[in-house]
Amino acid sequence: MRAYRPSAEFPRHLEELYARFPFDRSLADDPISLVRPLAVDLRHAEVAGVFASTLAIGNTTAIRGAVARLAGLADGDVAWLVSPGHARERARRLASFRHRWIRGDQLDYLARVLETYYRHRPSLESAFVEGFTDGGFAGGLDELSRVLRADALRGRLGPPPRGYRALFPSPRDTAASPCKRLTLFVRWMVRDRYPDLGVWRRVPTGELRIPLDQHVHWIAYHLGLTGRRTRSWAAVEEVSEALRRVDPLDPVKYDFVLCHTGISGDCPKERDIAVCGPCSVRPDCRLWRGRTVTT
């Protein structure tokens, strides 16, 4: 059976979807809307981004609630979480924190890891670039994952809490994972176009990979950007490559739109002419293959 492919007009259709998308409406539903005001400088942007992306599990309302609660525990200054001199107070404040299966003791360990890292290096970008230089995006993500999992710090910090290392999968050792949360973190740091933060300057936007959450995967599969029915790193590479053919310099700019088309209900994920009628990518959608719309 031939693989499903979008139409030759797909780049124009996708650009149209992007151009017409109501970013401001959907920003309020996205965790980046809470990260942006916290990101007053590079350090704050990285710390807010790491914690918010780590908490990006579940629906957007719950994620935003978790990010807001964490910021509240830091009295609105997230860099406090990784600054030295108050380890006991930080552990006390985080002790009862819960979001889905993520616990406060895991976040406290993450804070200790970052506190230790920042004693010697100014930015997580250095770690990413180190892996990226030899191993491309997957290499950069792998190095970031190793830093956050604190593989080299166990002697100093002691063993991590139960389930901690699984929060930071690497495409190098967990090919079944799309590594969505770390990939989302890197998107926030690198892209300097709205709504992202653009505080990292050494990673080209053309090299970014798509943070493949379930909404993005659903629409990417139905547009023929991947033939893979399950999310994995291979699916991330396929979707990113397909988007790179549309915009080689900034393929991931479509992530926010594809994601929030699903979250907002703009895409019903079924054939519904009332909703699908004005959809810019309907000619490319598997659900409408071979069908015409009569009004």
Q: List residues near ligand SF4 by CB under 6 A.
A: 219, 222, 267-269, 275-276, 279, 281-282, 285, 287-288
Q: Which is nearer to ligand SF4, 228 or 269 (CB)?
A: 269
Please calculate the CA angle 165-169-171 and round it to the nearest 5 degrees.
Answer: 150
> Smallest gap, in angstroms, from Cβ of residue 25 to ligand SF4?
16
Cβ contacts of residue 2 below 8 Å, gap of 6+? none
Q: Which is nearer to ligand SF4, 67 or 219 (CB)?
A: 219
> Smallest gap, in angstroms, from Cβ of residue 10 to ligand SF4?
12
Give the DSSP H or E segment for 261: helix 255-263
Cβ contacts of residue 41 below 8 Å, gap of 6+? none
Hey, is 102 helix, strand or coil? Answer: strand
Q: Which is nearer to ligand SF4, 17 or 79 (CB)?
A: 17
Q: Which is nearer to ligand SF4, 27 or 275 (CB)?
A: 275
CB 141 within 8 A of CB 131: yes
CB 97 within 8 A of CB 104: yes
| Residue written as token pair 């670039």 | 129
> Smallest gap, in angstroms, from Cβ of residue 241 to ligand SF4?
20
> Smallest gap, in angstroms, from Cβ of residue 252 to ligand SF4?
19
> Smallest gap, in angstroms, from Cβ of residue 273 to ligand SF4?
9
* Strand stretches in 50-201, DSSP E: 98-99, 102-103
Q: Which is nearer to ligand SF4, 18 or 161 (CB)?
A: 18
C-alpha to C-alpha distance for 28 and 290, rounded to whole angstroms:
37
